[in-house]
Amino acid sequence: MNIDDLEGMVLVEVDVQNDFILKDGGLPVMGADCAVRAAIMKTHGWARECGIPIIATMDCHAPDDPEFKSFPPHCVEGTAGYDRWDSSGSKKDVFVVPLREIPEEDILDALAYCPMIQIQKNTIDLFSNPNAKKLFEGVKKAIVTGVATDYCVKAVVLGLRNLGVEVIVIKEAIAGVDLDASAAAVDEMVSAGAQFVLTDDIVGQK
């Protein structure tokens, strides 16, 4: 794979948050084992080294969120379950895109100057955030990692393909809730034009 051209490339990390990643989290994704976590972090480190902006989606709910009728409570803003599983969320270089609409220039500034942008969402689909389309306007290629394959990863990948963004998913750096549903989700993403590669296909290159 030719990834020489890093212009317009971002890493999209989907919901790498305690409630999903930790086994005792609010809504643990059982497939997110040590190997998956290691692949997520390896890709994260590579992106930082190459200066590729990291866009991290953050599932974000109020304590009485309607989603909790369908799923156990998880990722309530202000709780430890909401926080990033790794420590990157506490760094000063993070810009948070909230659920309410913000000026486009703030988003463009963040993309240009912040190594990591966290964008909040309170449904499975990232593009329910009114700022999401603007955030990806100048993006040509997205590398995708995170959880869960059969829910939010699928929604992000299909949403990006819909915008015409080239999508490369790192096979070992995603994990799903249900095996069959995850396999079906992968088929759907491939049909939509997403490529699936191994970590070393990307991280082995500079």
- The nearest distance, CB 183 to Zn ion, in angstroms, is 22
For Zn ion, the nearest residue by Cβ is 59
| Site residues (CB under 5 A) for Zn ion, limited to 110-139 | none
Would you say 32 or 202 has its CB closer to Zn ion? Answer: 32
Peptide bond between residue 148 and the one before it cis (omega within 30 degrees of 0): yes
Q: DSSP strand E in 15-165: where?
A: 54-59, 94-97, 116-121, 141-147
- Closer residue to Zn ion in complex, CB, 13/59: 59
Residue 135: which of 94, 97, 161, 189 has the closest Cα? 97
List the x/- string, 134-163, binding to Zn ion by CB under 5 A. Answer: ------------------------------
Q: Which is nearer to Zn ion, 20 or 46 (CB)?
A: 20
**67 versus 201: smaller Cβ distance to Zn ion:** 67
Determine the distance from the C-alpha atom of residue 67 to the mean position of all C-alpha atoms in its chain, rounded to a whole number.
19
Least spacing, CB of residue 68 vs Zn ion, in Å: 8
Alpha-carbon span 142 to 148, nearest angstrom: 17
**Per CB under 5 A, which of residues 56..85 are in contact with Zn ion?**
59, 67
Amino acid at 102: I
Least distance to Zn ion, CB of residue 59, Å: 4
Q: Minimum Å distance from CB 61 to Zn ion?
A: 6
- How many residues of this chain interact with Zn ion, rule: CB under 5 A? 2
Instruction: Give me the helices (H) in 16-174, please.
Output: 18-21, 34-50, 104-113, 132-135, 154-162
Task: Tell me: does residue 13 bind Zn ion (CB under 5 A).
Answer: no
CB of 57 to Zn ion, least distance (A): 11
Q: Which positions lie near Zn ion, rule CB under 5 A?
A: 59, 67
